[in-house]
A and B are shown apart, each in its own frame.
Chain A
Amino acid sequence: MSTDKKYAYYPGCSLTATAVAYDISTKAVCDALGIEIKEIDDWNCCGATEYFAINALPAYALVARNLALAQDEGHSQVIAPCSACFLNLRKTDEYMGKYPDLGQKVNQALAAGKLHYDPGSLRVRHLLDVVVNDVGLDKVESLVKKPLYNLRLAPYYGCMIVRPDSGFDNVEYPTSMDELLRTLGAIVVDYPVKTQCCGGHMTQISDDTALDLIGRLLRSAAEYQADAIVCLCPMCQLNLDAYQDDVNRKYGTDYKIPVLYFTQLMGLAFGIPEKKLGFGKEMVSAKPALAKITAEPPPKKKRRVRRPKEALPMPGQE
């Protein structure tokens, strides 16, 4: 892995608004870990999952402007903390190289703005990948001052960080965040729906579809008695956090499961003050969960919590 810990930083639109807690905690944690990030000057929106549905070439060109800007700034790697941005940047770089006709057209479009991008010149990375694989868990462990003892966490990866082929973890059963959270001292529940869909933009289009998907994720976390769900994508966080009330209303449930970013929990374990990590911005308060953290590790249990049968990972079924 690269020893050079300098990266271009592509926050993406969500991190300037709904996911500002992710942005703040990312910066705090990168600082602590010695990951040097420099925000790409004048970056633009990646188009999320919307632009490709309307017109493909402008959608690629929109993404490619960011790649071209980062390349011009002399970077060889770019970090995107949002899974949708990560996918779009990665896919555009890959497709421009794999389909030369597309690459050429995108560059023709970029030329109208006096820009150019050479596919393959930037490695697009998700923040989790950089933390686990470039920095490493040993370094993370060395920084843990206040372990998250007794906190039961459900690691939620969602879709676009591993699929279709980001390559740094298993597409259906990733474990890198599990290991990271364990390194922080937390109890990681074997969350069977960890890579199922959060509903994406369906919250805006069809309540029934979206709340059904969100409800599944909350139900499973509740069955495993998770104190919090940990995520790594602003869309996942928003759907699980802001729509939890709607799920409760629709299904007559009473979930109050805070949905936090992995960076917030890292910062907490590093002893960084909560305020500098964006705590308090979540709709479902994290306070009761954080109060469960103890100074001593929990006594080792002999028996593992049994996996409820109906929570086996069966996407699309239930």
Chain B
Amino acid sequence: MTETRGGDRFFDRVVAATPGGEKLALCLQCGTCGGSCPSGPDMDHTPRQLFAMIAADMEEEVLNSNTPWYCVSCYYCTVRCPQQIPITDIMYTLKRMAVQKGKFKEAEAADFSKTFIGMVELYGRSFELGLATRYHLAHHPLKMIQMSGMGLKMLQRGRMALRPEKIKRLDQLQAILEKAKQLSAQTGGAA
């Protein structure tokens, strides 16, 4: 399942896979996005740099950059961009492309997303305890110890469920998601 629709150019594929993505061609390289970004200091490339790289079809470098994975979806860049480029949505597109190609350095962020949606597909609801256990055991077992102190306090305050809540019509939800995945595969993941 790769995002191939929209021609061979990497730039075109990014555009095709993002609703309203065609605006990316209008980027002025003004840097407003990077200057607004709370994660900027931890990113390999600022959003502005990343967009220059996309325009230059530097697929490898873009999909290997940690930048999309440090995007926290705060939408500051999106509301400030003078060209109204849907930057946050483009970050989501790049995450999806990186996951599909198995690229990304930041395996942890991708795995967190995957573990999260695994829970949702299984129960119809997210399940914090299950999520924390699975994800942290795989990535940083030490963090489990630190987390367990917090988890205990959350349990004492009735803020953490020990068992997942399941929706009633799980089969209905699963049928919908299955169909959506089929459709997505047919169109090369473009949405």
Which residues on A are within 8 Å of B, measured CB to CB? 13, 16-21, 42-45, 47-58, 60-62, 65, 95, 98-99, 102, 105-106, 108-115, 159-160, 163-165, 171-172, 196-197, 199-202, 204-206, 208-209, 213, 242, 245, 280-283, 315-316
CA A115 – CA B180 in complex, angstroms? Answer: 13
User: Is B137 on the interface with A (CB-CB < 8 A)?
Assistant: no
Interface centre among B113, B173, B191 (most CB of A within 10 A): B191
Cross-chain contact B42 with A17 (CB below 8 angstroms): no
- How many Å from the CB of B124 to the closest CB on chain A? 4
Given the interface pairs A50-B112, A61-B176, the reply to whether A316 lies near B35 with Cβ below 8 Å is: yes
One of A21, A60, A114, A201 near B112 (C-beta < 8 A): A201
A16→B96 contact, CB < 8 A: no
B55 close to chain A: CB less than 8 A = no
A-binding residues in B (CB < 8 A): 17, 19-20, 34-42, 69-70, 72-76, 78-79, 88, 92-93, 95-96, 99, 106, 108-110, 112-114, 116-117, 120, 124-126, 128, 132, 135, 150, 153-154, 157-161, 165, 167-169, 172-173, 175-181, 183-184, 187, 189-191
Write 29 A-B pairs (CB below 8 A) sorted by A numbering: A18-B128, A18-B159, A44-B125, A51-B117, A53-B99, A54-B114, A55-B189, A56-B189, A57-B183, A62-B176, A98-B19, A109-B176, A112-B176, A113-B172, A113-B176, A159-B76, A171-B79, A172-B79, A199-B72, A202-B72, A204-B132, A205-B69, A205-B108, A281-B158, A283-B153, A283-B154, A283-B157, A315-B37, A316-B34
In whole angstroms, what is the CA distance A281 to B153 when docked?
Answer: 9
Give 12 new A-B contacts, CB below 8 A, not counting A18-B154, A56-B93.
A13-B125, A42-B169, A53-B96, A62-B176, A159-B75, A163-B75, A164-B78, A164-B88, A171-B79, A196-B38, A197-B72, A315-B36
Residue pair B79, A165 in contact (C-beta under 8 Å): yes
On whether the beta carbons of B189 and A113 are closer than 8 Å, the reply is: no
Please tell me which one of the listed residues B40, B116, B161, B179 contacts residue A109 in the complex, with CB atoms under 8 A apart: B179
Chain A residues near B108 (CB-CB < 8 A): 205-206
Q: Report the Cα distance A110→B117, complex, angstroms.
A: 18
- Name A245's closest neighbour in chain B (CB-CB): B150
B180 — which chain A residues lie within 8 A by C-beta? Answer: 55, 57-58, 60-62, 105-106, 109
B175 engages A113 (CB within 8 Å): yes
Q: Are A57 and B184 in contact (CB under 8 A)?
A: yes
B17: which A residues are within 8 A, CB to CB? 56
Across the interface, name the chain A residue whose C-beta is closest to B87. Answer: A164
Chain B residues touching A, majority SS: helix
- Which of B37, B42, B161, B177 gathers most chain A CB within 10 Å? B177
Whether B178 pairs with A50 at a CB distance below 8 angstroms is no
Q: Which of B78, B112, B124 contacts A204 (CB 8 A)?
A: B112
Nearest A residue (CB) for B143 = A207
**A49 and B73: CB pair below 8 A?**
yes
Shortest Cβ distance from residue A49 to the other chain B in the assembled complex, whole angstroms: 5
Provided the pairs A200-B72, A205-B108 are in contact, do residues A50 and B113 lie with their beta carbons within 8 angstroms? Answer: yes
Min Cβ gap B62→A in Å is: 15
Q: Chain A residues near B109: list those with CB within 8 A.
A: 205
> Known: A13-B126, A108-B179, A114-B172. Contact between A209 and B70, CB under 8 A?
yes
Q: B191's contact among A20, A56, A283, by CB below 8 Å, is which?
A: A56
Give the chain B neighbours of A20 by CB distance below 8 A: 158-159
In the complex, which residues of chain A have a beta carbon less than 8 angstroms from the beta carbon of B39?
202, 209
Residues of chain B within 8 A of A172, CB atoms compared: 79
Say whether A164 contacts B184, CB under 8 Å: no
Give me the 6 closest cross-chain CB pairs, A-B, nearest first: A56-B191, A163-B75, A112-B179, A109-B180, A200-B72, A113-B172
Residues of B within 8 A of A282 (CB): 157
Given A13-B125, A18-B154, decide whether A50 and B116 contact each other with a Cβ distance below 8 A.
Answer: yes
Residues of A within 8 A of B177 (CB): 58, 61-62, 109
Chain A residue at minimum C-beta to C-beta distance from B98: A53
A205, closest chain B residue (CB)? B109
Q: A45 and B126: CB pair below 8 A?
A: yes
Contact between A17 and B19, CB atoms less than 8 A apart? no
Docked pose: A115 CA to B171 CA in angstroms = 13
